[in-house]
Amino acid sequence: MEDKYYKAITKIQEADSIVIGASNGLSISEGIHIFAENTAFLEKFGDFRAKYGFRSIIQGCFYPFPSQEEKWAFFSRMYDYFLYDEEASPVMKNLFELVKEKNYFVVTSNIDDHFSQAGFPKERLFEIEGNCRNLQCTYGCHNQIYPGDKILSEMAKNQENGKVSTDLIPKCPECGGPMQVHVEVDQNFLRGEAWLTNYQAYQDFIEKAHGKKLVLLELGVGVRNQLIKAPFMKLTSHEENATYITLNKGELYIPEVIASKSIGIDGDTAEVLQQLVQA
Ligand SMILES: [Zn+2]
Q: How far does residue 60's CA lie from ligand 1's centre (Å)?
A: 24
Give, for 182, the enclosing helix (H) or strand (E). strand 179-183
Q: How far does residue 176's CA lie from ligand 1's centre (Å)?
A: 6
Question: Strand 130-137 and strand 179-183: pairing?
Answer: antiparallel
Q: Give the pLDDT of residue 250.
A: 85
Q: How far does residue 199's CA lie from ligand 1's centre (Å)?
A: 23
Domains contained in the chain, number: 1
Residues in the chain: 279
Q: How far does residue 170's CA lie from ligand 1's centre (Å)?
A: 11
The model's pTM is 0.95
Phi, psi of 138 (to 5 degrees): -60, -35
Look at residue 115 and tell me whether its pLDDT is greater than 70. Answer: yes
Q: How far does residue 180's CA lie from ligand 1's centre (Å)?
A: 11
Q: 262 is in which domain, residue-wise?
A: 2-278
CATH number for the domain spanning 181: value is: 3.40.50.1220
Phi, psi of 64 (to 5 degrees): -80, 85
Give, for 253, the enclosing helix (H) or strand (E). none
Is 132 annotated as contributing to ligand binding? Answer: no
- Helix residue ranges, H only, the chain: 3-14, 24-30, 39-52, 57-61, 68-83, 90-99, 114-117, 149-157, 193-208, 229-238, 269-278
What's the whole-number average pLDDT of the chain? 95
Mean pLDDT within 10-27: 97
Q: How far does residue 136's CA lie from ligand 1's centre (Å)?
A: 8
Is 61 annotated as contributing to ligand binding? Answer: no
- 131-167 per-position pLDDT tens digit: 999 999 999 999 999 999 999 999 999 999 999 999 9
Collapse the DSSP code of 92 into the 3-class scheme (helix H, G, I; strand E, B; otherwise coil) and give the result: helix
- 173-208 per-position pLDDT tens digit: 999 999 999 999 999 999 999 999 999 999 999 999
- 64-94 per-position pLDDT tens digit: 999 999 999 999 999 999 998 889 999 999 9
Q: Give the pLDDT of residue 1.
A: 55
Q: How far does residue 203's CA lie from ligand 1's centre (Å)?
A: 30
